[in-house]
Each structure stands twice: as C-alpha cells, then as structure tokens.
Amino acid sequence: MFIGWDWATETHDVTVMDDTGKRVDRWEFAHTEEGFAKTLARLAKHGAPADPPVAIETTRGLAVDRLLAAGHPIVPVHPNAFHAMRARWGASKAKTDAGDSMKLADYLRTDGHLLPRLEPTERATLDLQALTRTRADHVEAKVAAVNQLAALLDEHWPGGKAVFANLDSDVAMAFLERYPTPACAAKLTAGRLEAWCKRRGYSGKKPGSVLIERLRSAPKTASRLGEAVVEELVRVQVQLVQGTRATIRTLDKAIAEAVETHPYAPLLATMPRIGKINLGQIIAEVGPLLERAQSCEQLIVETGVVPITRASGKSRAVAFRFATNRRARLALTQFADNSRHGRDWAAKIYNDARGRQKRHPHATWILARAWLRVMWACWRDGSCYDPAIHEANNKIKPAANTLSAA
C-alpha cells in the first residue's frame, strides 16, 4: 500500500493506493484531534503502520510528528519536484486536494524507491535546534531594532548617534536612556561624561574629551518634533533593544546548558575557536545531516558547501548551490572562518584557496569541506577531535619548532 497525504492548515486529504495503482480508500478530515485519531485508526486497517509509506509535501509540522509517532515511514516530497511531475497526470496540471493526495500516492508508488525516508531526529538535537533557531530570530530582531534606533538618532539627534557609535553596547544603551535628547545632554562636560562612562564599566577606548567633541561637533537637527516626543521615541526604542538583548542572553544560557548534556558535544567541543553557541548551532543543524548521510560526500552536498554543476553537450557551468540547508551552511562557515585563526592547517587550506584567486566566501567553503570530513570521521568512529590524528589524516602538519643558534 502507498499513502498520499495532502496537508493544509484546516483540512487534510488522504488517499490509499495499492501496488497496481488502484485507489483503495480516500477521505478528507479536519485539522482536529478527532480527525487525526480517526485517520490514524483508519490507516491501521490497511496494514501495520511500519509497512505503508506516506508521501507528504513537508518535512515537519503536526502531521509529520503524528505520523512518525504512529510508526509510519515518511517520504517528504519537495513541492517544486512534485509540481514538475504534474504533467504526467495531464497537460492541464489541474490541482485539487483529492487529486493531489492521489498523485502523491501514485508518485510514491512509481518513484518511491528513489526518494529518501525521513529519519526522526534525536529529541536532544531537536531541543537544541529550537533554541538556536529562536536565538537567530532574536538576533535578527535585535539588529533591526538597533538599525531603527540609529535611524531615529540620525534624524533627531546626530550628536547622540556619534557618541552611541563609539561606546560599548551596554554603556551606549545606558547613555541613551539617561540622555535621550540634546537638551538632556546640554550640561555634559568631558569630565562628567568620562566619569559617568567609567562607573558603567566603559572600556575606555575613547577618552571623555573625544566623546564630548563628537557630541558637540555633530550637526544640529532640524526636526520639527517636540522634545518630549523625541525623548519618548528614543527611550522606547532603547527598551526594545535592551529587551531583545536580554532574551538573547537567556537563550545563550539555555543553549550552553543544552550543549553540556548533548551526546554529540564531546566529539566536536575540542575543535579550534568553536564557542558554545556555534557548537550548539552545528550540532543542531549539521547533526541531523550526519545521522542520515550515507557518505561524507553526501554530507558535504547537503550542507551546501560544494557548488552544483550544470552541463550539457554545448555548455558547462559550475554555480552556487541554492537548494540546501542554509542554516547548516551558515553555522558551518562561521566556524570554518574562525578556525583558520586557531589551527595552522586550516589557515593553510584557506590561504592556498585565496592564492588560487578564490574569493573569501569560496575559500571558506573549501575549508568547511575539510572540516566536514573531520566531523564525518569523528562521527563514524565515535572519537573526539584530536589535532594530531586529524591533521595527519589531512596530510598537513604544522611547522616544527626549531631552536635558534645561541
């Protein structure tokens, strides 16, 4: 038996097809607990849950989770690939929910042997994945909030923006909360500003005389808004930035705790320049790919750090790979870029690529491929990263220390 599942937010359509292509059963149900319970019971009448695979156009969500929990093999079908196959069932490419579930079942019947099954990810990895992805969303929100604050200052208080750009982040937020408008900072002097910054832990990169000079030399605004309105706008935006920074710190702590107890962490924790957050991102995004990859080359392809070749009899092009796991590629390339500052062999791979006229992103992908081979070896052998072993495997050894003549 083959099952096609057309999913939606309010209703789902399911078709059961036998080996000959004959529709055995078909029904539609609402996105409710009763609907899922009755559907799973109805599917059980057509065989043990582990036998009939289910084709569905997604890899996650409530429907996928319920099917996996019931024991059904899941065959995710990419919507673009399914759309390209519609012509086999008619030139019009007609689309209905019932028709889609039937076509998914038929597609699974004819081409299912070519499609990979969805392997459930470890719960600890899913927890870490949710934490790191939420943190990435909050970082994006923080960047947007800071940019909005900078634009607000540029329009209504250029002097405040000049000081804001030269202070540490925590001190800058405190400064704008205390002095949100030019009138509030009118009585500031170099000594008072320097003492105020020192009390709040400022690193002291810029002395008070420089800060006050940039504050005074900035052009005056021609804003037609009232002083009270500008003060309220700046303070509200500062609170938004501080709020997102507080949530990021909370998530950082939760990610660090989750990494400490994750079974994959010891394998990769000794890699150079890999912090707790980046380690959590790699485990969360690259970990599931390691679990289901059949070879190291498949792992490299799925992380998107190898280009894609399009060739025919008349042309050949090697281009950037867009269809890939972008979060895994981002986490991996961030680590690879940092690692070249911590290990000689990583720096050599990167510098050799740059010497071949490769741009920085391309050279980073080349280095990331080398690190994926190391990660694959650690995963396959269950061994922690050891610089001596893995640098030897890459046939790159750091220069030996030599004693100079006295």
> Residue 135 contacts by C-beta under 8 Å, 6 or more apart in sequence?
248, 251, 252, 255, 277
Domain boundaries, the chain: 2-114, 126-256, 265-393
CATH classification code of 126-256? 1.10.287
The predicted pLDDT at position 403 comes to: 34
Q: What is the mean pLDDT of the chain?
A: 87
Assess whether pLDDT exceeds 50 at residue 220: yes
Percent of the chain exceeding pLDDT 70 equals 96
Q: Report the range of poorest mean pLDDT among 27-41, 314-328, 360-374.
A: 314-328
The predicted pLDDT at position 395 comes to: 45
**Torsion over CA: 209, 215, 218, 219 (sign):** negative
Distance of CA 8 to the CA centre of its chain: 25
The predicted pLDDT at position 394 comes to: 52
**pLDDT for 173-202, tens place per residue?**
999 999 888 888 888 899 998 898 888 888
Superfamily of domain 2-114: ATPase, nucleotide binding domain (3.30.420.40)
Query: Any idea what DSSP says for residue 270?
Result: T
2-114 and 126-256: same fold? no
Distance in Å from the first CA to the final CA of the chain: 82
Assess whether pLDDT exceeds 80 at residue 384: yes
Percent of the chain exceeding pLDDT 90 equals 39
Mean pLDDT of the region 30-41: 92
The predicted pLDDT at position 259 comes to: 94
Q: Which residue has the tokens 């680590």?
A: 335
Mean pLDDT of the region 40-52: 88
> Residue 336 contacts by C-beta under 8 Å, 6 or more apart in sequence?
346, 364, 365, 367, 368, 371
The predicted pLDDT at position 398 comes to: 42
Assess whether pLDDT exceeds 90 at residue 333: yes
Mean pLDDT of the region 264-277: 91
Assess whether pLDDT exceeds 80 at residue 376: yes
Q: What is the pTM of this model?
A: 0.79
**Closest listed residue to residue 37, CA positions, set 12, 9, 59, 19:** 12
